[in-house]
Amino acid sequence: MLKFYVVATPIGNLEDITYRAVRTLGEVDLILCEDTRVTVNLLNKYGINKPTMSYHSQSKLSKIDKILEMIGEGKTLALVSDAGTPTISDPGSVLVSRVREAYPEVKIIAIPGPSALVSALSISGLPASEFVFLGFLPHKKGRETLFKEISEMKRTVAFYESPHRIMKTLDSLKKYVGERKIVIAREISKIYEEVVSGNSSEVEKYFLDNKDKIRGEFVVLVSEK
């Protein structure tokens, strides 16, 4: 049976990978990477010597056609992202959809592992039996409308944010959400991992007073209404 693996990789500490993921990456014919330069560091750590090929948001349709052609030739492929679980706020979902359409007989197998979203929720102290995940918020169009929607949500809300927009986001949360509890998880599993918790004003003030901490990747969590 033909197989296509979707393999979760560490979001920071390279030791956060399963035995199964290491074995799978060592057995496939080719590894599809968001950035081959990032993935090669992981492969080198675990002595995995397999060919890689880039697949990311800027990849052309011809790249997908090439991948489908290789599957048709009987090759077993694995899809990884730079960090975390592929297809979650990641262009890999398009590829998985195309594989399903082109080869219904191919078994698409998830190799579970790290996720910044789930990791942040687990240490936030916020209710997580139900939550809404928004991925990366739009940069401009629809952004204000989305914050208004967040202000009315009756479940914990989670989304990703970049260091370039985190202060603007915190200001918008204070404006639309008010003084509800906010939790910011930054650089999870990395050397400078940090969790900041408080109401909107307190969290914003923390980063205004500690501008050197405005770096890395952020998971933003907002308590329910």
Q: Are residues 174 and 91 in the same domain?
A: no
- 48-77: pLDDT as tens digits: 999 999 998 777 778 999 999 999 999 999
pLDDT at 143 over 80: yes
Q: Are residues 14 and 30 in the same domain?
A: yes
Mean pLDDT (whole number) for 9-29: 97
Of 59, 90, 111, the residue that ends a domain is 111
Q: Are residues 81 and 152 in the same domain?
A: no
User: What would the DSSP string read from start to end of 83-101?
Assistant: SB-TTTTSTHHHHHHHHHH
Q: Classify the C-alpha dihedral 81-82-88-89 as positive or negative.
A: negative
Q: How confident is the model at residue 139 (pLDDT cuts 50, 70, 90)?
A: confident
| Euclidean distance between CA atoms 178 and 144, whole angstroms | 14
Residue 138 or 21, more confident: 21
pTM of the predicted structure, to 2 decimals? 0.90
Q: Which helix (H) or strand (E) is 52 found in, with range?
A: strand 52-54
Q: Are residues 141 and 88 in the same domain?
A: no
Q: Quote the pLDDT of residue 108.
A: 98
How many domains does the chain contain in total? Answer: 2
Q: Are residues 21 and 79 in the same domain?
A: yes
Q: Are residues 27 and 100 in the same domain?
A: yes
Q: Are residues 138 and 88 in the same domain?
A: no
Of 76, 111, 146, the residue that ends a domain is 111
Q: Are residues 130 and 218 in the same domain?
A: yes
Of 85, 111, 137, the residue that ends a domain is 111
CATH number at residue 21: 3.40.1010.10
pLDDT at 225 over 90: no
Domain, as residue range, for 153? 116-222
Q: Are residues 79 and 177 in the same domain?
A: no
127-131: long-range pairs with CB below 8 Å, 24+: 127/155, 127/156, 127/223, 127/224, 128/156, 130/155, 130/156, 131/155, 131/156, 131/157, 131/158
Q: Classify the C-alpha dihedral 122-126-128-132 as positive or negative.
A: negative
CATH number at residue 163: 3.30.950.10
Q: Are residues 91 and 125 in the same domain?
A: no
Q: Are residues 91 and 136 in the same domain?
A: no
Asked if 193 and 12 count as a contact pair (C-beta separation under 8 A), the reply is yes
Q: Are residues 121 and 213 in the same domain?
A: yes
The region, left, alpha or beta by phi > 0 then psi within -120 to 50, assigned to residue 40 is: alpha
Q: How confident is the model at residue 182 (pLDDT cuts 50, 70, 90)?
A: very high
In terms of Cβ atoms closer than 10 Å to its own Cβ (0-12, 13-18, 19+), residue 30 is: middle
